[in-house]
Structure 1
Amino acid sequence: MSFICLNKIHKTYGKPPNAFEALRGIDLEIREGEFVALMGPSGSGKSTLANILGCLDSPTSGIYEFCGVNVSNLNLKQKALLRRHYIGFIFQGFNLLPRTTALENVELPLLYRQVPKKERIKLSMQALEMVGLEKWYNHQSNALSGGQQQRVAIARAIASKPLFLLADEPTGNLDTKRSVEIMEILARLNQESKITILMVTHEPEMAQYATREIVFLDGLIQRDSANTALCRKQA
């Protein structure tokens, strides 16, 4: 059984004669534990596919199966529960709450899941430790650097122990040095914690940290290949 399986996924925006077909019959399987980079020019369909994978949007037609469950048959409440319990999100904009601490930001998804406070703090501190920010837990988010804020965002995404992470341009707002730091964290999470990661990126240098690259063009998969040039820091 595939971890993620897409069968003839189409996504159309608008109505004829002005309809735009963003995805034109995507067939794709993703195995558990992969680190996949979704690439392609603007308008190629990669972000549309990522939104479907994250249950933020629905295909016009086709079947999306997640761990054997046909997501296409779920209602809005069921999709929200799937997101809450199984998917972690990392965005280009850090989306942290201002004037709240790093710890409080990381706790947020656990709060939505009604995790008891003691366990919530324990899991949040573990996540902050995994991204090297345990000593910064009491700092307000708006007092942290961009790289530190993205680390908090990663900690928030992994605190609930999701089955996979969906990262949308996670280094888009960072300089080269901070981008490398973030990618090394993601690569380590994938390698050591076996978290499945799907990352949308425009940057070939960042895609080199993934184990697999999928390139989109005009709503179709142009190339799907294993990454033979892994750019991972050796221990």
Structure 2
Amino acid sequence: MSLIKLSNIHKRYGKGTNVFEALKGVSLDIEAGEFVALMGPSGSGKSTIANILGCLDSPSSGVYDFCGVNVSELNIKQKALLRRHYIGFIFQGFNLLPRTTALENVELPLLYRQVPKKERLRISMEALELVGLDKWCNHSSNELSGGQQQRVAIARAIASKPLFLLADEPTGNLDTKRSVEIMEILQNLNKDSKITILMVTHESDMAKYASREIVFLDGKKKSDTKEDS
């Protein structure tokens, strides 16, 4: 069953003779429960695709279908609601509030959803426990290592129980040991919690943790390889 379906997606920037076509008729299906690594050199279109999938940008033409909903027809407010309730984000730069505890950072998306405080605390602690940081819940983010900060960011992303997790270079700021820790957490979330994950990465070693690798080049899919089941 397709969670995400892109049909003939084009993305153009500029007008007239200055137009740049970042995506050139991309079609793509992502099934519920997949772990997809999206790769390609700078300017290949992979970040543009990720922004469209995360409802952070819109295609110039084509159809983006998310869970049976035509995202291309949603307005800004509706897209914001879709992001809030169904999509989790993990960024290369962690994006944590610096003088705020790990627990408070994880609570943030639940606060926006107006989840009652008692329930919010329970869910946030469960998310921190999943990434092995429940004992660090009262430490501020600037007291944590890079790997720990990224684990807090993952806990924040999964606290709202998203259908789809979008990870943009999640190991880009980490050393090899911490990168492996993060990838093992993502792999476990995919296998145990059945969260669909799309990870943008330029690191082939990290892409091997995914069950499917898609490579972009010049605004098109160059290859699409699934792990043998």
Map of 1:215 onto structure 2: 215
Q: What SS does the aligned partner of 1:122 have? A: helix
Does 2:199 match 1:180?
Answer: no
Q: 1:112-157: per-residue Cα shift (whole Å, max 9, x none)?
A: 0000000000000000000000000000001000000000000000
2-structure distance, mates of 1:143, 1:122:
23
Confirm whether residue 57 of structure 1 aligns to residue 24 of structure 2: no
Query: Is 1:28 the counterpart of 2:34 in the alignment?
Result: no
- TM-score (structure 2 length as normaliser): 0.99
Q: Distance in 2 between matches of 1:201 and 1:13?
A: 23
TM-score under structure 1 normalisation? Answer: 0.96
Structure-to-structure mapping, 1:64-213, within 5 angstroms? 64-213=64-213
Letter in 1 for 2:196: T
Give, in angstroms, the shift of residue 227 of structure 1.
3.1
Please report how far the alpha carbon of residue 18 of structure 1 lies from its aligned counterpart in structure 2 after TM superposition.
1.1
Which structure 1 residue ranges, 5 or more long, are not aligned?
Answer: 231-235
Are the counterparts in 2 of residues 208 and 227 from structure 1 also a CA contact under 8 Å? no
User: In structure 2, what residue type is equivalent to 1:25?
Assistant: G
Match of 1:134, as an amino acid?
A: D
Long gaps (5+) in structure 2: none
Q: In 2, distance between residues paired with 1:117 and 1:51?
A: 31
Moved over 4 A (4+): none
The number of aligned residues is 229
Distance in 2 between residues matched to 1:91 and 1:98, nearest whole Å: 15
Quick one: distance in 1 between partners of 2:2 and 2:173?
33
Cα deviation code 1:3-25 (max 9, x no counterpart) = 10000000001112011100000
Structure 2 SS opposite 1:3? strand
Shift of residue 2 of structure 1?
Answer: 1.7
Q: Give the Å deviation of 1:37.
A: 0.3
Output the amino acid matched with 1:116.
Answer: P
**1:66-102 CA distances to partner (integer Å, 9 max, x unpaired)?**
0000000000000000000000000000000011000
Equivalent residue number for residue 6 of structure 1: 6
Deviations 1:175-198, CA, capped at 9 Å, x for gaps: 000000000000000011100000
Alpha-carbon deviations, 1:160-219, whole Å to 9, x = none? Answer: 000010000000000000000000000000011100000000000000000000000000
In 2, the alpha carbon distance for the partners of 1:2 and 1:206 equals: 24
CA distance in 1, matches of 2:39, 2:19: 24
Distance 1:208 1:21 in 2: 30
Spell out the pairing of 1:30-45 with structure 2 (5 A cutoff).
30-45=30-45
8 Å CA contact retained: 1:38, 1:215: yes
